[in-house]
A and B are shown apart, each in its own frame.
Chain A
Amino acid sequence: MTYIESLMSTFSVDLTLRPTTFDLWHVCLAGTVVALMAVIILLLLLLLFSRSMNKTVAEPATVQPIHAQPAEPTVKIIEKIIEVEKIVPAPTPEPVVLKEYTPDAALQVLGLLQKEARFIDFIKEDITAYSDADIGVAARVVHDGCNKALNAHFSLAPIRTEQEGSNITVPVGFDATAIRLTGNIVGAAPFTGSLVHKGWQVTEVRLPKLTQGHNPHIVAAAEIEL
């Protein structure tokens, strides 16, 4: 009898029947059942909760631009919370939450890079046959355009303003997402090391709003000249 089969049989069993023996195997089984029930209840509650949240965010259907920033009141669904559950024997499993964005904003950026910089054309082209000089000419189009698109839609700032290569001291309690330590990481903060890369952070995003009917999957329309 496999685990699952035993589980199935546990469910299909007439509950009026009592086990004739009550050994360690049954204790484990009962424990697993209780844990699974708890997980299911938790999931249901979360689902209910997120539904009701979406309902309050849903807008009256008049004006349609879809905002890219989650802070806007007219936002459509921006993120879904996905629960990743592992069946762990631990009595109180901590739920791991991974954010997953809707692809709209990503598609939009792809479309902008294609429009301004011919990004997809360039990457998708087989460049093996071309000389470096030819590729260089096309790279100018891509570079100029990407620069234009980045400047138009994002504000970028370096995380550290010091010269790369200079010595930096990282204080206690530094932000580990903004600063990555590498190499000989031993001892305790403050750490001192050489700045290899100054880092980039986006300080502002200015993505265009999209109308309701707009299909962001079309990152470049086919063009037909009459």
Chain B
Amino acid sequence: MNSPIRPKYTVGIDLGTTHCVMSYANLASLEQDEFSQQVMPISQLTAPGTVEDKLQLPSFIYQAHAAELANGAAILPWTSKPQHLVGEIARNLGSKTPIRLVSSAKSWLCHSGVDCKAPILPPDAPEEVERISPFQATVAYLQHLKSAWQHQHPDAPLEQQDLVITVPASFDPAARELTVEAARTVGLGHAILLEEPQAAFYSWIEKSSKDWRKQVHVGDVILVIDIGGGTTDLSLIAVTENDGNLELTRVAIGDHILLGGDNMDLALAYTVKTKVETEENPLQPWQFQALTHSCRDAKEKLLNNMTMDVAPIVIANRGSSLIGGTLRTELTRDEVNSTLVEGFLPIVASNARPATRARTGLRTSGLPYAQDAGITRHLAAFLAKQQHATGELEGIRLTENATFIHPTAVLFNGGVLKADSLADRMMSVLNGWLQAEQAPPARLLSGTDLDLAVARGAAYYGFVRKGKGVRIKGGAAASYYVGIESAMPSVPGIPPEIQALCIAPFGMEEGTQQELPNEEFGLVIGEPVRFRFFASTSRRSDRVGTRLNRWSRDELSELAEIEITLAKEGRNAGDIVPVHLCAAVTEIGTLELQAVSQKDNSRWKIEFDVRSGE
């Protein structure tokens, strides 16, 4: 490794819940201070026997039956025997045989309560269908992207290029670690993580080239709203000044909200369903599937063409007779408005909060979808929770009576917000809140391609890391705590009180580590020890070593437990080793926890990704 090969490209991968996109730029343009990038067409099977290049790779895997495909029908330009059917073909075949379709693997990665390395997908598959883990699915997508790259760039292996993979800002440390591990599995261990809303913002900077400094000012608080196919991701970026230079800091991230464009299409389909269904002729599952597709197309027509009031919806018969069995209905503008605009972006006050129902039992077979579809309510909760997000930054002052943080600019991302009526509604709701607190309206930063911005921004980030352009300061996305039992006399029947010990503060910078030498634990050799693990996206002033005796449920959310097993390594099983904890935020953007022996300084890694699926 004494003569590392110089990378030729900076490559960005948007590993999306429903689509993956890959973008790249030649680093040679670095010298000219220019940045010209391409989105890579990804070769994929679109139907048995058919290979096409598409800009997006649908994040689906189809577990085909052995007899289902003809010999040689599943061939890719780089292999005659792909391990998994990935991409468009998976989505197409899966639409007719959902029991064999693996989807939303990414959402499972961030779902505490399941073991992400256990074969659990597809969750509703019958016994004989081979299941894979969410982790394996992620590996499969990355493997496909890597092979597609290699095929197009045989002279520039991906493992030698600068590589950035995006993750939701709301991904917890375990999900980030799993993503990096998946990349490592396919030989891309050098990949660096970037939060998606930040990537979208980088894409905006890149698109507006030199002009962006005129569009944002010192004191701006930029709200990034990213509504994708399956998730909604929120972030705040503050603009400050340092020695006359603009500085950008990601000051807050939102919760992981499983709510997106797919929910909208489904909602519309249910609205229309009642119009075509009769008691004698209920809709068949395949008809409902077709209806959902048809609703999506009709919705896009209505949302993008204000002169249309009605869009026809047709569900074609499955048999070869097209005219006989075809159902027809229509989707009206009123229905789109009431279902989507009012249903998902209702006009609410800034003190509205998303409704939560008590969950009935532990849901391990399904994803924890958001229970309140009102995205504006989730946004209101986020802004109020982050009211003091800029408290420590100079130059940003909130008006005195503010009840939530006041964004001054908004950047949209995700296909849903391409629709003007949804984007307009989002802005008018937000500006209504701001007006009520005598704050100036937020302006909309435009110019990015809402579908491809994340991948483009990721590639641009590789460029930024070379010292070109402004870098958004981020660091740890939350403060992290381990739960320790407080030293109290035990009371029968009452579980010992838990204290939260801060081990990594919010915004802890990449490439730094913090130790807690004064907090000593005794660990038993050979026995796994588990800690409860917490995160907070709103407690900013806690430092390493801060102990919390009580906290509100709003402040700290509990993540999956972390576990450490001290290998024997010449010691005797049963011995107790005094250790202290050490947390590091790595250069690639993951959190690393270690136990450090007080005696000889030897270190053991603490694992996140041992999620028990009990």
Q: List residues of A whose CB falls within 8 A of some B CB.
A: 63-65, 115, 118, 121-122, 124-125, 127, 130, 134-135, 137-138, 140-142, 144, 206, 208-215, 223
Contacts and interface: CB of A to CB of B under 8 A. Distances in A.
B323 A208 contact: no
A130 B323 contact: yes
Given A138-B322, A141-B326, A209 B52 contact: yes
Contact of A140 (B72, B73, B312, B318): B312
Contacts of A208: 46-47, 50-52
12 contacts: A65-B75, A115-B47, A125-B323, A130-B323, A141-B316, A142-B322, A144-B297, A209-B52, A210-B49, A211-B50, A214-B49, A215-B49
B39 to A, nearest CB: 15
A134 to B, nearest CB: 5
B212 interface: no
Contacts of A118: 316, 322
A121 B321 contact: yes
B129 to A, nearest CB: 13
A207 to B, nearest CB: 9
Contacts of B312: 140
Given A212-B75, A213-B72, A137 B326 contact: yes
Contacts of B77: 63, 65, 209
A126 to B, nearest CB: 9
Contacts of B50: 208-211, 214
A121 B322 contact: yes
Given A64-B80, A206-B53, 18 more contacts: A63-B78, A65-B75, A65-B77, A115-B47, A134-B324, A135-B323, A137-B314, A137-B326, A138-B322, A141-B314, A141-B316, A141-B322, A208-B47, A211-B50, A213-B70, A214-B48, A214-B49, A214-B73
Contacts of B51: 65, 208-211
Contact of A211 (B72, B320, B328): B72
B71 interface: yes
Interface string B48-68: 111111000000000000000
Nearest to B318: A223
State which size class the interface on B falls in. 20 to 34
Contacts of B52: 206, 208-209
A208 to B, nearest CB: 4
A223 B317 CA distance: 13
A118 B324 CA distance: 13
Given A63-B78, A65-B51, A140-B312, A213 B73 contact: yes
A38 to B, nearest CB: 46
B563 to A, nearest CB: 44
Contacts of A137: 314, 323, 326, 328
Contact of B73 (A115, A135, A211): A211
B49, B73, B80: which has the most chain A beta carbons within 10 Å?
Answer: B49
A88 B526 CA distance: 98
A107 to B, nearest CB: 12
A144 B50 CA distance: 22
A148 B523 CA distance: 63
A177 to B, nearest CB: 30
Given A65-B51, A141-B326, A211 B75 contact: yes
A138 B49 CA distance: 28
Given A64-B80, A115-B47, A138 B323 contact: yes
Nearest to B48: A214
* In the complex, the 3 A-B pairs of residues with the closest C-beta atoms, listed nearest first: A214-B49, A213-B72, A211-B75
A137 B48 CA distance: 30
Contacts of B80: 64
Q: Which of A127, A137, A212 has the most CB of B within 10 A?
A: A137
A145 to B, nearest CB: 9
Contacts of B322: 118, 121-122, 125, 138, 141-142
A214 B52 CA distance: 14
B574 to A, nearest CB: 57
A130 B70 CA distance: 38
A226 B286 CA distance: 13
B47 to A, nearest CB: 7
B75 to A, nearest CB: 4
A51 B70 CA distance: 32
